[in-house]
Amino acid sequence: MDFFQVLQIIIPSMIALAAPLIFTSLGGVFSERAGVINIGLEGLMVIGAFTGIVFNLMFADVFGEWTPWLAVLAAMIAGLLFSILHAVACITFRADQTVSGVAINLLAVGLTMFLVKLIFDKGQTDRITETFPRIDVPLLSDIPFIGPIFFANGYYIVYIAILISFVVWYVLYKTPFGLRIRAVGEHPMAADTMGVNVTKIRYAAVLLSGAFGGIGGAIYATIFSNEFNHATINGQGFMAIAAMIFGKWHPIGAMGAALFFGLAQSLSIVGSSLPFFKDIPSVYLLIAPYVLTIIALTGFIGRADAPKASGQPYIKGKR
């Protein structure tokens, strides 16, 4: 097996594994840039995964091959609705944001497994029949060398994820809405005096993070697990948070970090069948994203600083 073939196995699986992480970490970027810590991304992914799978099972006959796309849409809405809880607790009720996030995670797993047992009368859902097809991107996959590695045997949704991260960058850095999000995350009082509605912007940011988290969960469940059970989403959300921090709260950075973590995950799965990699115990690849994030935070690879006002509720009139 030569190097080219190895790349042909690793790269597509890396990009595919990165897609859910990209979406979810972009959600995290929105929320934290507005000053609301969202540990609940894991729970929002759980909700997304559950909704995606159940929608897929219920409507596969009606929508045919469009089912996975509509399922992702449904998961987006479900994630958005569920994140209202986090928004209300953190913004209106001034709850501790980390505690509320923990509650979101517990509630998501409890609620979805309760519903699974109610609907399916067992510990997991049935397996879905309609999933995203593997495709070769027209034209691009014909490029010599690069084409077969990056644009063959992939999923459309994965390329959409990468494109969306540029869209999010544009929204955050080139639009008034993005400027307001960043302002309320750095110095809400200054933003308030300039006439920005802090509460409204923060609500919008948290709901966006819910929508993105829902999408991420649905993609993960649809492509990789094909069913939903209590362990379908196991740390994906926290890995997305890690990607967001590793990417220094920047959309493109988060996307890059998600791709890198996708590589680590893909190596831990397919590495055992490849030369060079089979001698590395998979545990190193499994813990790599987490350990690297800690190292990134301590400042050995350029210090990562959170938005200034993250974690603090904004109380009007209080200095």
Tell me which residues touch another protein (CB under 8 A). Answer: 39, 85, 89, 92-96, 98-100, 102-107, 109-111, 113-114, 117-118, 230-231, 234-235, 238-239, 241-242, 245, 281, 283, 286-287, 290-291, 293-294, 297-299, 306
| Residue 292 CB neighbours (<10 A) | 18
Q: State the minimum distance, in angstroms, from the CB of residue 6 to another protein.
A: 24
Q: State the minimum distance, in angstroms, from the CB of residue 160 to another protein.
A: 28
Which residue number, 7 or 111, has a Cβ lying nearer to another protein?
111
Q: State the minimum distance, in angstroms, from the CB of residue 197 to another protein.
A: 20
Q: State the minimum distance, in angstroms, from the CB of residue 101 to another protein.
A: 9
Which residue number, 11 or 39, has a Cβ lying nearer to another protein?
39
Please, what is the Cα angle at 126 between 128 and 135, to 5 degrees? 15
The CA dihedral of 123, 16, 286, 125, to the nearest 10 degrees, is: 0
Which residue number, 123 or 275, has a Cβ lying nearer to another protein?
123
Which residue number, 94 or 200, has a Cβ lying nearer to another protein?
94
Q: State the minimum distance, in angstroms, from the CB of residue 88 to another protein.
A: 8
Which residue number, 66 or 284, has a Cβ lying nearer to another protein?
284
Q: State the minimum distance, in angstroms, from the CB of residue 47 to another protein.
A: 13
Which residue number, 107 or 171, has a Cβ lying nearer to another protein?
107
Q: State the minimum distance, in angstroms, from the CB of residue 154 to another protein.
A: 27
Which residue number, 163 or 291, has a Cβ lying nearer to another protein?
291
Which residue number, 5 or 272, has a Cβ lying nearer to another protein?
272
Which residue number, 8 or 98, has a Cβ lying nearer to another protein?
98
Q: State the minimum distance, in angstroms, from the CB of residue 175 to another protein.
A: 29
Report the chain's C-alpha Rg in angstroms. 20
Please give the Cα distance from 54 to 43 (Å, whole number): 17
* Three-state secondary structure readout of the chain: CCHHHHHHHHHHHHHHHHHHHHHHHHHHHHHHHCCCCCCCHHHHHHHHHHHHHHHHHHHHHHHHHHHHHHHHHHHHHHHHHHHHHHHHHHHHCCCCHHHHHHHHHHHHHHHHHHHHHHHHCCCCCCCCCCCCCCECCCCHHHCCCHHHHHHCCECHHHHHHHHHHHHHHHHHHHCHHHHHHHHHHHCHHHHHHCCCCHHHHHHHHHHHHHHHHHHHHHHHHHHHHCCCCCCCCCCHHHHHHHHHHHCCCCHHHHHHHHHHHHHHHHHHHHHHHCCCCCCCCHHHHHHHHHHHHHHHHHCCCCCCCCCCCCCCCCCCCCC
Please give the Cα distance from 314 to 319 (Å, whole number): 10
Side chain identity, residue 88: V
Q: State the minimum distance, in angstroms, from the CB of residue 247 to another protein.
A: 14
